[in-house]
Chains A and B, each alone.
Chain A
Amino acid sequence: MNNTPTFQLDGADVPFESGQTVMQAALAAGHYIPHLCYHPEFKPHGSCKLCTVKVGGRTAASCTMPAEAGLEIESDIEELNALRRTLVQMLFAEGNHFCPSCEKSGNCMLQALGYDLEVHTAGFRHLYPDRPLDASHPDILLDFNRCILCELCVRASSEVDGKNVFALAGRGITKHLIVNAESGLLNDTDIELSDKAMQVCPVGVILKKRVGFSQPIGERRYDKRPISAQALDDAPRPPAGAQHE
């Protein structure tokens, strides 16, 4: 009756529209593929590699891989989940993450993925980088210790807010988030609480002051249901004017 093209994801047929990536089509159809740097409202860039899937024996980041009819994709298999476990361990080891005292606990995607993928051990020797807080702004706190360098705030600030408040500096393991001010302090940027960049951090870097812990830990998003069970909530909303309309 319809000739919507499909590909297979772990044996299930997933319909897609031209221009969609594997991740976009999968989420739209309610299939979860673990991810951190992907966000339905921004152009995918594929840096966290959590969404790595297997196609015909090769691996690729599903958030940037164009969907094609007839692809046979494997995602929820032990080999890839083991890979994802290691990647999550790497992100934990790279920054300074103290979940029990973190304001983002229960709402944090990194933590939620850790639970969901059953990351039981540290795996690596932690690097304990020195990343001072930026509390200069009256309403916003930046805790760089938790940054996973996903660039969502960078993309939100430039693509949606039109501001360029955030960017990444440095290279390799010294790569870090910076803000757009000669002083290097957030208070000297033009960030506002209403900015999109305020809403997209998957971990606990960008925090609104004076509202910490207003929702008790234990009652938060990923406290209730595992992140993989909430795939549809992350389904892509096509950008205005695109595709359907």
Chain B
Amino acid sequence: MESDVDLHAAYLDPILDRYGCAATNLLQILREAQEHYGYIHPDAINYLIAKLQVPRIRIESVATFYSFFHLQPHGEYRVLFSDNITDRMLGSIELMQKMCQQLWVEPGKMSEDGLVSIGTSSCTGMCDQGPAMLMNGRAITHLTHQRVQEIGHLIRNRTPLADWPADFFRVQDNIRRKGLLLGNTLARGDALCAALVLGAQNIVESIKTSGLRGRGGAGFPTGLKWEACRNAAGTVKHVICNADEGEPGTFKDRVLLTSHADLVFDGMTLCALAVGAQQGYLYLRGEYRYLLEPLQAVLQRRREANLLGKNILGHAGFDFDIAIHLGAGAYICGEESALIESLEGKRGVPRNRPPFPVTHGYMQQPTALDNVETFCQAALAIQMGAENYRAIGTAKSTGSKLISVSGDCPRPGIYEYPFGVTVREILQDCGAVNTRAVQISGPSGICVAESEFHRKLGFEDLPTAGAFMVFDDSRDMFEVARNFVHFFAHESCGFCTPCRVGTSMLKQTMDKIAEGHGTKYDLSEVENLDHVLQTSSHCGLGRTACNPVLHTLKHFRPVYEKRLKSLDFEPAFDLDGALARARQMTGRDDAGAHIKAEEI
């Protein structure tokens, strides 16, 4: 008993020390605690309760919110196949089945010897080099039958992850087209120096003049946000960089953090100067765990160069530093107020607004929260001058935009364009042929068909956070929509009734149609559900959850109708399906073990 406590104290104490033994860092503490056993040990929870002085229920309620936390053993090797539609199009489901067979496990369950578990995860942001997986939280790309088989052998031989071929973990930038951002030749701190010459007030004015709008998708004017934060009452303020890049099909922030991290941090630091913040946070999605050490090294070099810390670049009183917090598998934390809740060590549930983060953000203090790319663009706007910046792009969408191209095209990767580029131009550049549809800005965005390929990316026409998933004429757009619907149901935080229940009902309806039991009634029910979700959901997740179905119904109604029964209504109860368990238990799958449709 005594020794058990010592056992956990040995690895937990340093973690607790590092995080100031503060419950606001609960997420980080749990994450690091989990890295020890692959799950959060019950005795570790008891130890944390005592040390952090929080009720057990707080730890359990937080830990169970995030997909990557486990309170029970989950296998020495925990395999999660990325389950975006682009991974599926590259054969991820078949690869997962093969691996399950090879290692004798069922998807979602741990093997009886506790060696391995295999499951799926929402898009891991490797769509340009999929199919991808997370292996004990580390990204593995370019999965093939051979690679999956090799992984199976390594697992069976209990080879430590450190001894696996480094090539497995290689993540490429795949930058295909450069513009002012990806082509910039700025040295570390250049933009910050330009900002220091301007001074705080002029930074805000400059950003306002530049016309810069948030690159996370919503497009709120960045200058107005910074101004509101600057003017907000209070002396303690924060800057948060949203690197919780969870929208399926988006991976531009990963590339920026890999190859332009200093520009990101320059942007955050000049924002801190503008709004008067002392502390910054980079909220990095858990899927990008592998970027943690490199980013920490970048931060350390900046401290050594006096680009962070006290009296930055000799300016008395300009103190600012940046900490990195990792997410733990929750798409909803990309919503700014949910992200702040998560940063405070809580469940990532979006807050009621107003008040907004600019006045009541992290710790209820004024907070400027922007997307990774927004901070980069802000740094560029300051460096090149607001007027020069606003000359790029369109009237209401100034500057450039990084587009994450994936799906059916020979050259997936990152493309940078001035705003105003048409869908068709991007398709030509990435070499896509016979394109049936493009999903702009991820599942919560817009599905455009060929008749709309002349449309332009920008806040005037097609607003986008950057995802650009291409589907050619071999793809079944119903299955695309169904994948997205499953994604929303999995990622709903569950706070409000319409989203929590509605996304599950929508999933049920799509599955019913897929199984051949759908009717016209089900399609009209989707429209009804959409109205309920649109009008009463707590946040954008619920409000956009029906979009994939509505958009594909609009353009590709026949792919739904060919699956429908002609009846007006058919119950979802599936007699033959109800026998599935009996078939599994008896090992039978012959004709006699099935009920034919006519018999029903």
Q: When the two chains form their complex, are residues B61 and A168 in contact, meaning their CB atoms are under 8 A apart? A: yes
* Chain A residue with Cβ nearest B45: A182
Interface size class for chain A? Answer: 35 or more
Binds B, one of A10-18, A23-31, A89-97: A89-97
Number of interface residues of B (CB under 8 A): 42
Q: Is the CB of B494 within 8 A of A175?
A: yes
User: Could you tell me the distance between the alpha carbons of A222 and B39 in the complex, rounded to whole angstroms?
Assistant: 48
- Name A166-188 residues within 8 Å CB distance of B: 166-175, 178-182
**In the complex, are the beta carbons of A90 and B536 less than 8 A apart?**
no
User: Which of B52-60, B132-140, B457-465, B548-556 lies at the binding interface?
Assistant: B52-60
A148 — nearest CB in chain B belongs to which residue? B497
Say which one of B208-216, B397-405, B485-493, B579-587 lies at the interface with A: B485-493
- Say yes or no: is A48 at the interface (Cβ < 8 Å to chain B): yes
Known: A64-B352, A93-B505. Is A173-B42 also a contact (CB below 8 A)?
no
Q: Does A127 contact B (CB under 8 A)?
A: yes
Say whether, besides A47-B495, A49-B538, A182-B42, A173 and B56 are in contact (CB < 8 Å): no
A148 vs B532: C-alpha distance in the bound complex, in angstroms? 18
Closest residue of A by beta carbon distance from B492 = A172
A107 contact set on B, CB distance < 8 A: none
Min CB gap A65→B, angstroms: 9
Inter-chain contact A87/B535, CB cutoff 8 Å: no
Q: Which residue of B lies closest to A58 (CB)?
A: B535
Which residue in chain B gives the minimum CB-CB distance to A87?
Answer: B497
* Whole-angstrom CA separation of A127 from B572 in the bound complex: 12
**In the complex, which residues of chain A have a beta carbon less than 8 angstroms from the beta carbon of B55?**
164, 167, 180
In the complex the two chains form, what is the Cα distance from A28 to B497 in whole Å? 26
Shortest Cβ gap from A45 to chain B (Å) = 7
A59, B536: Cβ atoms under 8 Å? yes
Q: Which residues of B contact A164 (CB under 8 A)?
A: 55, 57-58
Contact A181 B497 (CB under 8 A): no
A173 in contact with B492 given A180-B55, A181-B56 (CB within 8 Å): yes
A78 to nearest B CB, angstroms? 13
**A115 on interface, CB distance cutoff 8 Å:** no
User: Out of B65, B490, B535, B572, which one reaches A170, CB within 8 Å?
Assistant: B65
B160 proximal to A (CB < 8 A): no
The answer to whether B493 touches A171, judged by C-beta atoms less than 8 angstroms apart, is: yes
Asked if residues B501 and A173 are in contact (CB atoms below 8 Å), the reply is: yes
Separation of A168 and B504 alpha carbons in the complex (Å): 19
Name which residue of chain B comes closest to A169, CB basis: B64
Specify which chain B residues have a CB less than 8 angstroms from the CB of A171 in the assembled complex. Answer: 64-67, 330, 347, 492-494
Q: Find residues 546-600 in chain B having any chain A CB closer than 8 Å to their own CB.
A: 571-572
List of A residues within 8 angstroms of B505 by Cβ: 90, 93, 124-125
Give the CA-CA distance A218 to B64 in the complex, in Å.
41
CA distance A237 to B503 in the complex (A): 36
Q: Is A86 in the interface zone, CB < 8 Å from B?
A: yes
Complex alpha-carbon distance, A168 and B330, angstroms:
16
Within the complex, which residue of B57, B352, B508, B536 is in contact with A178, where a contact is CB–CB below 8 Å? B57
Q: Does B466 contact A (CB under 8 A)?
A: no
Q: Once the chains bind, are B64 and A172 in contact (CB under 8 Å)? A: no
Contact A83-B536, Cβ < 8 Å, known A48-B496, A49-B498, A171-B492: yes
Contact: A127 with B496, CB < 8 Å?
no
| Residues in B neighbouring A52, C-beta threshold 8 A | 535-536
- Which residue from chain A places its CB closest to the CB of B512 in the assembled complex? A125
- Whether A149 is near chain B, meaning CB under 8 Å from some CB there, is yes
**Within 8 Å CB of B491, what residues of A?**
172
- Nearest-Cβ distance from residue B439 to partner chain A, whole angstroms: 22
B501/A91 in contact, CB under 8 A = yes
A186 to B461, CA, bound (A): 55
Which residues on B sit within 8 Å (CB–CB) of A178? 57, 60-61
Please, what's the 1-or-0 string for A95-109, where 1 marks a CB less than 8 Å from any CB in chain B? 000000000000000
Q: What separation, in Å, do the CA atoms of A85 and B113 have in the docked complex? A: 49
Q: Which residues in chain A, 67-124, are within 8 Å of chain B measured between CB atoms? A: 83, 86-87, 90-91, 93-94, 124
Indicate if B276 sits at the interface (CB-CB under 8 A): no
A172 touches B490 (CB 8 A): yes
Q: Which residues of B contact A46 (CB under 8 A)?
A: 352, 496, 538
A87 to chain B, nearest CB (A): 5
Interface members, chain B 500-532 (any A CB < 8 Å)? 500-505, 508, 528, 531-532
A48 to B538, CA, bound (A): 10
Residue of B nearest to A45 (CB): B352
B508 touches A125 (CB 8 A): yes
A90 and B330 within 8 A (CB):
no
B509, chain A: closest CB distance, angstroms: 9
Cβ of A66 < 8 Å from any Cβ of B? yes
Residues of A near B532 (CB, < 8 A) are: 83, 86-87
Q: Mark A136-149, 1 if CB is under 8 A from B, else 0.
A: 00000000000011
Q: Cβ of B354 < 8 Å from any Cβ of A?
A: yes
Q: Is the CB of A170 within 8 A of B494?
A: yes
What residues of B have a CB within 8 angstroms of the CB of A127 in the complex?
Answer: 504
B46 contacts partner chain A, Cβ-Cβ < 8 Å: yes
- Indicate if the CB atoms of B502 and A90 lie closer than 8 Å: yes
Report how far A172 CA is from B330 CA in the complex, Å. Answer: 11
Docked complex Cα distance between A113 and B432 (Å): 54
Q: Are B56 and A182 in contact (CB under 8 A)?
A: yes
- Whole-angstrom CA separation of A4 from B105 in the bound complex: 68
Contacts of A45 in B (CB 8 A): 352
A172 touches B352 (CB 8 A): no
What residues on A are CB-neighbors of B535 within 8 Å?
52, 59, 83
B536 in contact with A87 (CB, 8 Å): yes
Q: Which A residues lie within 8 Å of B65 (CB)?
A: 169-171
- Nearest residue (CB) in A for B46 is A182
Considering the chains assembled together, what is the distance between the CA atoms of A164 and B501 in angstroms?
26
When chains A and B are docked, how far (Å) is the Cα of A167 from the Cα of B54? 13
8 other contacts beyond A164-B55, A172-B492, A182-B42, with CB at 8 A cut-off? A49-B497, A64-B352, A87-B536, A94-B500, A125-B508, A171-B66, A172-B490, A173-B501
Can you give 22 contacting A-B residue pairs, CB < 8 Å? A46-B538, A49-B536, A59-B535, A83-B532, A87-B498, A87-B532, A90-B501, A90-B505, A124-B501, A124-B505, A127-B504, A148-B497, A164-B58, A169-B64, A171-B64, A171-B66, A172-B489, A172-B490, A173-B503, A180-B55, A180-B57, A182-B46
Chain B residues with a Cβ under 8 A of chain A: 42, 46, 55-58, 60-61, 64-67, 330, 347, 352, 354, 489-498, 500-505, 508, 528, 531-532, 535-538, 571-572
Question: What are the nearest 9 A-B pairs in CB distance?
Answer: A175-B494, A90-B501, A180-B57, A167-B57, A172-B492, A169-B64, A164-B55, A167-B61, A49-B536
